[in-house]
Amino acid sequence: MTWEMVIGLEVHCELASATKLFCGCRNAFGDEPNTNICPICLGLPGSLPVLNAQAVELAMRIGTALHCEIRPSSFARKNYFYPDQAKDYQISQYDEPLNAGGWLELPDGFRVGVTRAHMEEDTGKLTHVGEGGRINSAHHALVDYNRSGVPLVEIVSEPDMRSSAQARDYAAELRGILMATGASDGRMEEGSMRVDANVSLRPAGTTAFGTRCEIKNLNSLRSLGRAIEYEAARQMALLESGERVDQETRHWDEAAGRTEPMRSKEEANDYRYFPEPDLVPLVPDAAWQERVRAAMGPMPADRRAALSALFGDTALGAQADQIRAVVDLGLDTMVEQAVGAGVPAALALARAANELAAEGDRGRALPIGSFVTLVEMEAKGELSATQAKAVLRAAVADVERDPRQLAREMGFEALGADTLATAVADVIAAHPDEWARYMSGEDKLAGYFINEVMTATANKANGKEVAAELRRLRD
Ligand code: ADP
Ligand code: MG
Ligand code: ZN
């Protein structure tokens, strides 16, 4: 029998707001544990939540980018006991989510339905201390409430995806959208974006859904793909041997490369949701929605289209991949400006998609002007490809430095008259006392300056020319 995979994803996104969802505590990753806390996010008796307008706005941006309807909504208490949540309930949205009924288009044009994108608060973080770091082998647990009350949006997809590749594409595109809206930094490894995958199988050609399992907390695209593949194979083995799949929540063990049961449907909590009595309904009016929409920049799909347009009809396979990578990394403005300055598009794109991308966050911090200068120098033949890549690495390592100067120091640039004059002037500026002595007749200091210029230019300068330049400046 041939089986078809059915996949729906639930993605939790931490919003990049300055403060938490219901209090004024700092929303920051990596601070000293239990320093960003107060009676509200600790749920102390008598404290009252106050909704954070910036977080609502970021959530509305997400809804808008996902083509959702932004609706009158309300908050509810999701009741359960767990030590990562001091007040024994989590404030979430339940039957009235802020955003509903949207879609996300994958780069190949396939549309995945978005059921809802609702707001809720994050829980604290438990660390299990002991061998393996897992709960079963722990001596004790530490709890950090800094994350408790951090605003989240949970984006629930329709069960529209049919392969692990499609699920990865969806998560990657969603990550790009979350970053483009400014709602999130998209850092999966820091938990800013966490993915749960629901997976089921059905005989190919049939329409009824099979029983699903939910795999929790996948924190990289690679884990997402591997976990889905493993889970589909596990379910297929069960179904082919005549057994049934039990609906359950499973955990992905990255090191072992398999999913393991966490809890069955029978063990599932009954959360006893009820309306949060301390918060009024959230009803964003049309004017607010319009302001949010107007403040949003272009989404990744628009930015890919803009970049592709620089290639006319010739953006072929490899270039399409490069365009995707460059937009994902937010390097598209660099490429566009370089092309605007007259650099061939393919060269600018290649340097951004390969060399700059390889530098990660540091690559993004390179000033646009430095990038443009660099590819211009390469395009004009002032630098070979190998030299250009080396200078690019150096420019990324020290973003304050001018690439021309770096190229000179690395000995990659033929010294023209202008460059030589600049090098001499730089050395003079750096040694004002020696220069004063030379000017007042201490001729032997010419040798000193020639040496300095030679060092500064990695021996590219012609000593006689330097001497002539020094005399010209003195006379
Ligand atoms: P819950 O409230 O238990 O999380 P939902 O109905 O909200 O359940 O569905 C959660 C996710 O599971 C959604 O992303 C949905 O698309 C997906 N899903 C639902 N049914 C299936 C199925 N049979 N196979 C795969 N995914 C499914
Ligand atoms: Mg759910
Ligand atoms: Zn607080």
DSSP reduced 3-state for 211: coil
Any atom of ligand 1 within 6 Å of the Cβ of 33: no
What percentage of residues in the chain have a pLDDT greater than 90? 73
195 C-alpha to ligand 1 centroid (Å)? 13
* Position 175, amino acid: R
CB neighbours of 89 closer than 8 A, spacing ≥ 6? 77, 78, 79, 80
Number of H helices, E strands in the chain: 17, 14
> What is the pLDDT at residue 460?
67
215: number of Cβ within 10 Å: 24
Tokens standing for 229?
Answer: 């593949």
184 C-alpha to ligand 1 centroid (Å)? 24
104: number of Cβ within 10 Å: 22
CA-to-CA distance for 414 and 412, rounded, in angstroms?
7
For 313-328, the pLDDT digits (tens) are 665 677 888 999 999 8
H or E element, residue 136: none
CA-to-CA distance for 420 and 465, rounded, in angstroms?
8
Q: Model-level pTM greater than 0.85? A: no
CA-to-CA distance for 141 and 308, rounded, in angstroms?
51
- Please tell me what DSSP assigns to residue 31: P
> Which position has the token pair 């949006």?
153
Ligand 3 (ion): which residues have CB within 5 A? 23, 25, 38, 40-41
250 C-alpha to ligand 2 centroid (Å)? 14
Q: What is the mean pLDDT of residues 412-420?
A: 71
How are beta strands 248-253 and 213-218 bridged, if at all? parallel
> What is the pLDDT at residue 418?
79
Among 116, 155, 156, 266, name the best residue to mutate to test ligand 1's pocket (greatest count of ligand atoms within 8 A of Cβ): 156
> Which position has the token pair 């795999």?
215
Q: What is the mean pLDDT of residues 21-39?
A: 97
10 C-alpha to ligand 2 centroid (Å)? 7
Any atom of ligand 1 within 6 Å of the Cβ of 200: yes
CA-to-CA distance for 219 and 53, rounded, in angstroms?
28
How are beta strands 76-79 and 274-275 bridged, if at all? antiparallel
**Atom nearest to 210 CA in ligand 1:** 23
CATH 3.30.70 fits 417-474, yes or no: no
Among 212, 217, 231, name the best residue to mutate to test ligand 1's pocket (greatest count of ligand atoms within 8 A of Cβ): 212
- pLDDT tier at 372, thresholds 50, 70, 90: very high
* Position 16, amino acid: A
Residues 164/170/172/173 CA torsion (nearest 10 deg): 160
**Atom nearest to 198 CA in ligand 1:** 26
**Atom nearest to 214 CA in ligand 1:** 12
Residue of higher predicted confidence among 282 and 463: 282
Any atom of ligand 1 within 6 Å of the Cβ of 235: no
CB neighbours of 67 closer than 8 A, spacing ≥ 6? 102, 103, 104, 114
Q: What is the mean pLDDT of residues 283-301?
A: 96
Residue among 23, 124, 121, 37 at smallest CA distance from 78: 121
Half-sphere exposure of 96 (CA within 13 A, CB side): 14
> What is the pLDDT at residue 320?
87
Phi then psi for 141, rounded to 5 degrees?
-125, 150
pLDDT at 270 over 80: yes
Question: Are the beta carbons of 346 and 316 closer than 8 angstroms?
Answer: no
For 224-255, the pLDDT digits (tens) are 999 999 999 999 999 999 999 999 999 999 99
CA-to-CA distance for 63 and 55, rounded, in angstroms?
12
Maximum alpha-carbon separation in the chain: 101
Residue among 45, 50, 10, 13 at smallest CA distance from 276: 50
75 C-alpha to ligand 1 centroid (Å)? 21
Any atom of ligand 1 within 6 Å of the Cβ of 228: no
* Position 342, amino acid: G
Q: Alpha carbon 351 to chain centroid distance?
A: 20
pLDDT at 416 over 80: no
144 C-alpha to ligand 2 centroid (Å)? 24
Mean pLDDT of the residues in the chain: 92
224 C-alpha to ligand 1 centroid (Å)? 16
pLDDT at 413 over 90: no
Any atom of ligand 1 within 6 Å of the Cβ of 198: yes
**Atom nearest to 9 CA in ligand 1:** 14
